[in-house]
Amino acid sequence: MLAEFGYGILLVSFIVTLYSGFAAVIGVRNKSASLVESARRAQLLTFPLISIAAGTLIYLLVNNHFEVSFVYEVTSRSMPTYLKVTAWWGGQAGSMVFWAWLLAVFTSAVTIRKWERDIEFLPWVIVVSSVTLAFFLGMVVVFENPFTRYWSMNGSVVTSMFAPSSAATVFTPQDGQGLNPLLRHPGMVIHPPMLYLGFVSFVIPYAFAMAALITGRNDDRWIRITRRWALWAWLFLSLGLVLGGRWAYDVLGWGGYWGWDPVEIAAFMPWLTGTAFLHSVMIQEKRGMLKQWNMILIILTYALVIFGTFLTRSGVLSSVHAFANSPIGPWFMTFVFLTLIASIALVIKRWPDLRGETEMKSLLSREALFLLNNLLFLGVLVICFWGVIYPLISELFTGQKVTVGPPYYERATGPLFAGLLFLMAVAPLSAWGHSTLQTLGRAIWKSAAIAVAATVAIFFTYTQNVYALIGFFLVALVLSATTHEILRGAMARQKAQSENFFIALGRLMGRNRRRYGGYIIHISMALMAIGILGIEIFQVQTQGQLSAGESLDIGGYRVEYREVAQWDNVPQEVNYTRAVVGVYRGDKYLGELYPRKDMYFSGQPMSIPGQYSTLRDDLYVLLVDWEPISSTSATFKIYVNPLVNWLWIGAVTFLLGLAFAAWPDRDPADEPVRRKVHAGNRQTSAAD
């Protein structure tokens, strides 16, 4: 009965969502405020309805209802309760319900805001969000039903929502298959929800953008309303990518954090356009420019969110992150194309109304450099998009799937990322409206001198690699220029207000969270770049079979094999094989590491590295093979990853900076809407 109840609630949610969208359209056409209000209340109803369905599914997962096929596929009796709950998004059908539930949460939250000032947006925001929600609910109700059960009939077992015949009886397996062991890592418990939160949050700015196009409002009101949504969406998506990188580093045994896996890139692409969008909307707010550009960017972000969801759920990609083959692939592609075509048609219709209020007069102005920054982001996007779809195109036309590996991405994107680092240092120093080489030179020469001095020091003490030196110079330039800007502003306020330096700094940052949050993000990106340069350019590895007492030398370390032990963890259905190795730097003993190979009874292996971490480098030891009886020898693969921990330090700093920028300070409803650019622009430029 619970399965029928859960499915029935999902079906009702789907019908209510369809009603909400249709009622909003009819209400706005007939100028019926009561019908629009009915649509709003229907959309609010989707949240409690889907929550009930989700709660029913979680109850089935936690209480071992293995007659439900989804429960059987993702849980087992040996799994702890918290993993049974997180198994909700560990399988195809459950993750689709999770996606729909999050969207219902966000659309409901938006719907209950104060609409008096923006009432013309309301019906169209409801329509756009309802169309998206109805699509996902439709996929769940028709194709990916998590409440489908097993039925015993004529000696065979079939899956169906309802009894296929009067003779069929519910079949309940003794135990389930259990969640994929790779998904039991703490990072993977949090990683998918963060990605989903980022994906779903971007639907809200898109809905308001479409509402602005439909109603013909060409001011920046929709941007101001959704500014916080876009920032939090970017934060969640960034956190999801960082956690995914850490999970890969700890579990997959790649020796790295990023393998340019197609599903990784599917999540990275909307991050690229979302980043470009967040930079670009500042230009519209400050200068009334790039309105057309912003519309295109948010449309691309929304389309890439749906496209990324398609890639992970259609089965077209082979990846440790992707779900199994599914019939929903063509429906996803159809939805992506239809929404993309409709959105672009609206942009074309309103194109003349979206002209900028001022013209770009200087190639070195801040808005010009921001535009160049966005073009570089889109360049990376094109490279990534082509790398993902080329194997699919190749298989479609030749029957052979060509693999696009990391060398393609690294060589193609490297110069673009270098350009982005350079712009991080230079763009904040340029002026709005007009800037020259002379003014930029005066603003950056001190930072450039510090960067040159740091690079010379690195040349004599660390490396003579040309590419590394260029990278470290750009990192030093970003760090010195950004720090100089922060200190300059704080000292100016300290002098003007006669305040303590730290009080002046705190108040200055608090008054302009976005600006100084952005500076923190720039610093964090430079720190992350140190880790990326280290592992990409200086990583070394070796592999060898060792007998007890023998050792391998690599990167200044000596790794000595001591023993291997094996034991079963029956409750967790896993066999552990753990090696013990001693680590030395020269004659100095640093301690023991315990690389491990976990073999689950289901046949799924997992490699857990032993790691010795410092700011200088990371020693990363993998147990590859061993003698199962005598344990007198074992094979190890060892990496030394220089500077990689700066990547994680930068990632934490990045998230702190983004949270600081997104933290609520002033209600956007209280801010003025830009309609024309007058002298206020000059005042804004002077203030910055």
pLDDT-derived band of residue 686, with 50, 70 and 90 as boundaries?
Answer: very low
> Is residue 550 very low, low, confident or very high in pLDDT (cuts 50, 70, 90)?
very high
Handedness of CA 262, 393, 410, 302 (dihedral sign): negative
Is the confidence at residue 331, as pLDDT, over 70? yes
Q: What is the pLDDT of residues 235-266, one digit of tens each?
A: 899 999 998 888 888 887 788 888 888 888 98
Confidence of residue 586 (pLDDT cuts 50, 70, 90): confident
In a domain, 686, yes or no: no
Average pLDDT for residues 405-426, to the nearest whole number? 93
The reported pLDDT for the residue numbered 319 is 45
Q: What percent of the chain has pLDDT over 70?
A: 94
Q: Report pLDDT for 90.
A: 82
Q: Is residue 427 located within the same domain as residue 360?
A: no
Query: Is residue 664 included in any domain, yes or no?
Result: no
Q: If we measure between CA atoms, which residue out of 109, 96, 110 comes closest to residue 50? A: 96
DSSP 176: -
Please give the backbone phi and psi of residue 585, each rounded to the nearest 5 degrees, phi first: -115, 105
pLDDT tier, 345 (very low <50, low <70, confident <90, very high otherwise): very high
Q: What pLDDT, on the 0 to 100 scale, is given for residue 687?
A: 38
Q: Are residues 203 and 271 in the same domain?
A: yes
The answer to whether residues 626 and 641 belong to one domain is yes
Q: Are 52 and 39 in contact (CB under 8 A)?
A: no
Confidence of residue 670 (pLDDT cuts 50, 70, 90): very low
Token reading at 269:
């692409």
Quickly state the pLDDT bin for 316 (edges 50, 70, 90). Answer: low
Q: 563 is in which domain, residue-wise?
A: 538-645
Q: Which of 179, 205, 230 marks a domain boundary?
A: 179
- Give the pLDDT confidence score for residue 630 in this predicted structure: 62
Q: Do the domain assignments include residue 660? A: no
Q: Are residues 211 and 133 in the same domain?
A: no
Supply φ then ψ for residue 99, to 5 degrees.
-55, -50
Distances (CA, A) of 427 to 46, 277, 414, 681: 44, 16, 20, 18
In this structure, are 246 and 222 located in the same domain?
A: yes
Ranking 214-223, 501-510, 670-679 by mean pLDDT, the lowest is: 670-679
Would 573 be classed as within a structural domain? yes
The whole-model pTM stands at 0.89
458 located within any domain: yes
Q: What is the CATH number of the domain that holds 555?
A: 2.60.98
Would 25 be classed as within a structural domain? Answer: yes
Q: Do 349 and 421 fall into the same domain? A: no
CA distances from 521 to 225, 235, 276, 526 (A): 23, 11, 14, 9
- Together in a domain, 170 and 201: no
674 occurs within a structural domain: no
The residue out of 629, 645, 661 marking a domain boundary is 645
Q: DSSP per residue over 395-451, as a string?
A: HHHHS-PPP--HHHHHHHHHHHHHHHHHHHHHGGGSPSS---HHHHHHHHHHHHHHH
Domain identity same for 553 and 526: no
The pLDDT of residue 583: 96
Q: For residue 275, what pLDDT band results from cuts at 50, 70 and 90?
A: very high
- Considering the domain architecture, whether residues 272 and 350 belong to the same structural domain is answered as yes
pLDDT tens digits, 120-146 = 999 999 999 999 999 999 999 999 899
User: Are residues 486 and 527 located together in one domain of the fold?
Assistant: yes
The residue out of 179, 202, 218 marking a domain boundary is 179
Output Rg (C-alpha) for the chain, integer angstroms.
28
Tens of pLDDT, residue by residue over 589-645, are 999 999 999 888 777 788 889 999 999 999 999 999 887 766 678 999 999 999 999
423-459 per-position pLDDT tens digit: 999 998 888 888 888 888 888 999 999 999 999 999 9
Identify the pLDDT of residue 591: 95
Contact 663, 513 (CB under 8 A): yes
Residue 657 inside a domain? The answer is: no
Backbone angles phi, psi at 574, to 5 degrees: -145, 145
Number of domains making up the chain: 4
Q: Strand 156-160 and strand 149-153: pairing? A: antiparallel
Structure tokens at 419: 């350009």
According to the model, what pLDDT value does residue 288 have? 84
Q: Do 617 and 603 belong to one domain?
A: yes
Q: Looking at the structure, do residues 338 and 465 belong to the same domain, yes or no? A: no
Please report the pLDDT score of residue 255 as a whole number. 84
